[in-house]
Structure 1
Amino acid sequence: MGNSYKWYRLSYSLVASFIFLAIFLFAGSIDPIWLFERSNGTTYLGFMLATFGTIIAAKSMKQVELSRFLGLKPHDDLRETEPLIKTGWYQYMRHPLYAGLILIFAGYLFYVPNMASLIHLLALLSYLPFGIYYEEKKLREQYGEKYVRYQNKVPPLIPRLKK
Structure 2
Amino acid sequence: MSYLVLVFLWALFYITHSIFASLNFKQKMKSWLGKAYVWYRLLYSLFSTVLFLYIIIYASAIEKWALLAMTDMTTYIGFMLAALGTIIMVKAFKNFSTPKFVGLKPHDDLEEKGEFIHTGIHSYIRHPIYSGLILIFLGYFFYQPYMSSLIHFLCLLIYLPFGIYFEEKKLIKLFGNQYEQYRKSVPSLIPRLTKKAT
Give TM-score scaled by structure 1 length: 0.82
SS of residue paired to 2:155: helix
Give TM-score scaled by structure 2 length: 0.69
Relative distance call for 1:24 and 1:114 in structure 2 (3 A) is same
SS of residue paired to 1:4: helix
Relative distance call for 1:67 and 1:125 in structure 2 (3 A) is farther
The one-letter code sitting in structure 2 at the alignment partner of 1:4 is K
Q: Which residue of 160, 172, 189 maps to 1:157? A: 189
Q: Which residue of 102, 109, 127 maps to 1:75? A: 109
The one-letter code sitting in structure 1 at the alignment partner of 2:28 is S
Q: Write the distance in 2 (CA, Å) between the matches of 1:30 and 1:70.
A: 30
Q: Write the distance in 1 (CA, Å) between the matches of 2:51 and 2:117.
A: 29
Comparing 111-120 with 21-30, greater Cα deviation is found at 21-30
Aligned to 1:110: 142
The one-letter code sitting in structure 1 at the alignment partner of 2:75 is T
Percent sequence identity over matched residues?
50
- Unmatched tracts of structure 1, length 5 or more: none
| 1:2-41 matched pairs, under 5 angstroms | 2=24, 3-4=27-28, 17=49, 20-41=52-73
| 1:59-138 matched pairs, under 5 angstroms | 59-70=91-102, 73-76=107-110, 80=113, 82-138=114-170
> What do you get for the CA RMSD once the two structures are aligned?
2.8
SS of residue paired to 2:192: coil
Deviation at 1:65, TM superposition (A): 2.2
Number of aligned positions between the proteins: 161
SS of residue paired to 2:87: helix
Deviation at 1:100, TM superposition (A): 0.5
* Structure with the higher helix share, 1 or 2: 2
Deviation at 1:10, TM superposition (A): 7.3
Q: Which residue of 74, 85, 93 maps to 1:53? A: 85
